[in-house]
């Protein structure tokens, strides 16, 4: 039988660990299991500290939906209150950030949001590893950024704890549990097992001035250069060069664009396109 190799790192990523230590709030950056998690190594997702954070963040995410515009004097005040709340559980929240509700995170503390970040409804960031997002990034509805991974081969993906050496007292406890569960199983009940799931995660980096269109998915291990557009419904499985338009499943480059030219007279271009200048609220500066 041939076992499909598992893409997993065997050494800690010291650069990522240092980034977590210096640039992200709320992380247990000195914890060995945490360091393994963000480094692409196998780690224990059921470890007590990580489990506690994953459960607590569900409360934060639900409470984020309790903000009411009617309780604030202006759109700016409303936006600033929401951004300050996000700082309670997200690793870094840049100025001008606004995220429509609902949002979903695994941990929150492994996510870095640059300035003027905007996400439309239903953004999902599974940030088991570090997610770095640059300045002026837009996310359409239902965008997913997914860092975790599991072995493709089912022989590796799930394993039984019974395969591990156990102490005599553990075996005795298990025998007692089996006796207590015999009656339930005789009636067709599911005794359950001690199966464990192998997991690791790879970081995602998204450069400045990118637009992630509705329904696109970014897979762990991907770096997207600045100035890119990810087409609606695309699944990005490999790095994207700067200033590229990518589309499809899996996504591929369909157009290369010139880098942003800061010398261009934007106001003159706006006049040519008959775009009027107007003031915008802080939450919508993009």
The set of catalytic residues is: 150
Q: How far apart are CA 123 and CA 91, in angstroms?
A: 16
Torsion-angle region of 112 (φ positive above 0: left; ψ -120 to 50: alpha; else: beta): beta
């Amino acid at each position: 039988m041939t076992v499909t190799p598992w893409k997993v790192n065997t050494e800690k990523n010291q650069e990522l660990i240092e980034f977590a230590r210096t640039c992200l709030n709320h992380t247990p950056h000195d914890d060995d299991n945490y360091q393994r998690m963000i480094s692409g190594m196998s780690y224990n997702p059921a470890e007590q500290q990580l489990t506690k954070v994953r459960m607590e963040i569900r409360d934060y995410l639900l409470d984020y939906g309790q903000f009411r515009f009617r309780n604030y004097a202006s759109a700016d005040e409303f936006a600033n209150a929401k951004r300050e709340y996000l700082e309670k559980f997200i690793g870094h929240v840049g100025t001008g950030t606004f995220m429509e509700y609902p949002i979903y995170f695994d941990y929150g503390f492994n996510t870095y949001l640059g300035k003027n970040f905007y996400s439309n409804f239903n953004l999902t960031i599974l940030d088991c590893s570090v997610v770095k997002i640059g300045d002026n990034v837009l996310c359409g509805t239902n965008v997913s950024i997914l860092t975790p991974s599991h072995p493709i081969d089912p022989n590796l993906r799930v394993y039984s704890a019974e395969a591990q050496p156990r102490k005599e007292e553990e075996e005795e406890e298990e025998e007692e549990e089996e006796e207590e569960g015999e009656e339930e199983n005789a009636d067709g009940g599911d005794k359950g097992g001690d199966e464990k799931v192998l997991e690791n995660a790879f970081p995602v980096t998204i450069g400045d001035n990118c637009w992630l269109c509705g329904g696109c998915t970014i897979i762990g291990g991907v770096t997207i250069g600045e100035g890119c557009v990810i087409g609606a419904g695309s699944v990005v499985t490999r790095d994207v060069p700067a200033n590229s338009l990518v589309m499809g499943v899996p996504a591929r480059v369909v157009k290369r664009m010139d880098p942003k030219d800061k010398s261009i007279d934007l106001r003159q271009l706006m006049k040519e396109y008959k775009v009027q200048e107007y003031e915008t609220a802080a939450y919508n500066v993009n």
